[in-house]
Amino acid sequence: MAFSEDTSTNIDTYDVVQAFKNSQLCKVCESENARMNFSVLCCPPCKVFFRRNARMDLNTNQCIYDGHCDVTVKSRQICRYCRFKKCLSVGMQRELIRASHGPQNRLRVNNKQLATKNSLTNISRNRIIFSLDVIPTLNLLRNDRSLLTVEQWSLLSNVVNVYDAKSPVANVRNILSIQSSFPPKIRLKIAATNMMDIIGSQFVAVYSFVEVIPEFAAMPPSGQATLMERNILNTGGYSGVVIFREAEVCSSEVFQNGFLSKYGSQLTNEVTKVIGRTPMDLTLLKLLIPIVMFSTCSDVVIPVIKNVDRDNITREETGFLPNTKHLLKIQNIYVEIMFKYMIYRYGYDEATMRFAGIIKHFLDQSMCSKHANEVQAHAEMVETIVIESERLLISKDRIDQ
C-alpha cells in the first residue's frame, strides 16, 4: 500500500516536473517547451536554428529592415539576422557546437525512398562530386634543369628541408588530436589556451626557420631584429596558413571552435577560405617566406630580377645595418630561384598565372593577418615572441664572439 502510494505520488511528481519543463519559455522567441541548449533555455527550433547559422557573420550580413526586428514565436522566421543576433545576446555559445556524428543507421524507411527505390537516379544525384583540383603534371621541361644552377637547386632544397624540419605541423596535429580526445566540457576549457599555443608556434617556427638562413645569419643582430619586427606579421601569418593547410585543420572541429572563439566569425570564415585556396605547390610558398622576410617594407614587394651576382654580397661588409640595396640583393637570390623554378616546372604561361594566384593568396592572407592583429591577445603574443627572439639573437651573437 505504501508502495503503491509512493508510486502514484512519484508519477504525479514526474508529471508535474514534465509539465513544468514544457512550460519553460524560450529565451529567444518566447515559445514553450524550452530546454537547455547551448547553455541557454530555448525551444528546439531555436536550437537547430542556432546550430545552422553559427558561422553567420553579423558584420557583413545585415538586417534588411532596421536591425531591430521582433523575435517572437510568430515573427522569428522573418529576419534571420535579428534572430541570430538575439541568440547570441541571450548567451548561446557557439563553442558548444560539436562535430558531426556522421550518418546514422536508420531503421525507419521513409515513404519516398520506398516509392522510388527502384530508380537509381536519386543515388547518383546525391553523390558528392569530388574536387577537380589536380596535381599539376610536369611539363616537357622536366629533364631540363638548365634554368636553375646546381647551387640554386641545392639552396632551394635546403630551404624546403629546413622549413619542414622546423615546421610545427606535427605539433599542431598533436595538440588538436589530444584536445579532441578529451570529453567536451574539458575540451572547452582548454580550447583557448591551446589555440594561442598553436598560433604562437607559427611565429616561433618562422623565427627558428629564418634564423638558419645563411644571409640572415650573416647579419648583425640589430639588423635581424629590425627585419623580424618589420616582417613577422606577414611571414608568421603566411607560414601559419601553409602549416594549417598541411595539418588539415579545416576539418578539425576543435580548431574551428577555438579559432572562432578567439578571433570571431568574420575572421574565421576568411581564414578558412584562404586556407582552402592555398596554392597546391607548397614548395613555392615556403620559398616565398624568406623573400617576404627580406622585404624592405612590410607590404610585400616582389622586386625586379636584376643582374644579381651572389658573390657581391659576401664581398660587402656585413657589419652594417641592413640597407635597402643589400636587402634587395638577398631577396633577389630567392626571387630568382622562385621564378626559375616556376618556369622550369610549369612553363612560362602557366607560371605567370600561378604566380598571380600565389600573390592573390598572399595578399588575402596579409589582410587576415592584419585583422588578427587587432585582437589584443594576438598582438601581445606576437610582441612577446618578437622581444624574446631578439633577446636570443643578441645573446647568441655574444656567445659567438
Q: How many CB atoms lie within 10 A of CB 201?
A: 19
Q: Which does 13 bind (CB under 5 to 8 A by kind): Zn ion, DNA, a copy of itself, none?
A: a copy of itself
At residue 312, what are phi and psi to the nearest 5 degrees? Answer: -45, -40
Q: Would you say 318 and 392 are in contact if contact means Cβ atoms under 8 Å apart? A: no
Cα(41)–Cα(26) distance, rounded to whole angstroms?
A: 6
User: What would the grid cell of residue 281 be?
Assistant: 605547390
Q: Which stretch binds Zn ion (CB under 5 A): 54-62, 65-73, 165-173, 200-208?
A: 65-73
Of 108, 127, 185, 325, the one binding a copy of itself (CB under 8 A) is 127
| Closest distance of CB 188 from Zn ion, Å | 23
Closest distance of CB 178 from DNA, Å: 15
DSSP E strands: which ranges in 226-381? Answer: none
How far apart are CB 97 and DNA at their closest, in Å?
Answer: 4
List CB contacts of 146: < 8 A, sequence separation 6 or more: none
Size of the site for a copy of itself (CB under 8 A): 60
Phi then psi for residue 262, to 5 deg, are -85, -40
Q: Which set of grid coordinates corresponds to residue 391?
A: 633577446
Cell of 288: 616565398
Residue among 182, 212, 206 nearest 194 (CA): 182
Closest to Zn ion by CB, 26 or 233: 26
Least separation in angstroms between CB 38 and DNA: 5
Sign of the alpha-carbon torsion through 58, 60, 64, 65: positive
Half-sphere exposure of 84 (CA within 13 A, CB side): 20
Quick one: cell of 93? 555559445
| 11 binding partner (options Zn ion, DNA, a copy of itself, none; Cβ < 5 to 8 Å by kind) | a copy of itself
79 vs 289 by CB, closer to Zn ion: 79
**Residue 255 contacts DNA per CB under 7 A:** no
Q: Which of 37, 43, 46 is nearest to 25 (CA)?
A: 43
Residues recorded for the chain: 401
Q: State which of residues 5, 103, 137, 143 lies at the interface with DNA (CB under 7 A).
A: 103
Q: CB of residue 194 vs DNA: minimum separation in angstroms?
A: 17
| Sites for Zn ion among residues 14-43 (CB under 5 A) | 26, 28-29, 31, 42-43
- Give the interface with a copy of itself as residue ranges (CB under 8 A): 7, 10-11, 13-15, 17, 63-65, 74-75, 77-81, 95-100, 109, 111-112, 114-115, 123-124, 127, 129-136, 269-270, 272-273, 276-277, 279-280, 304, 306, 349-350, 352-357, 359-361
Q: Which chain residues interact with Zn ion by CB under 5 A?
A: 26, 28-29, 31, 42-43, 46, 63, 65, 69, 79, 82
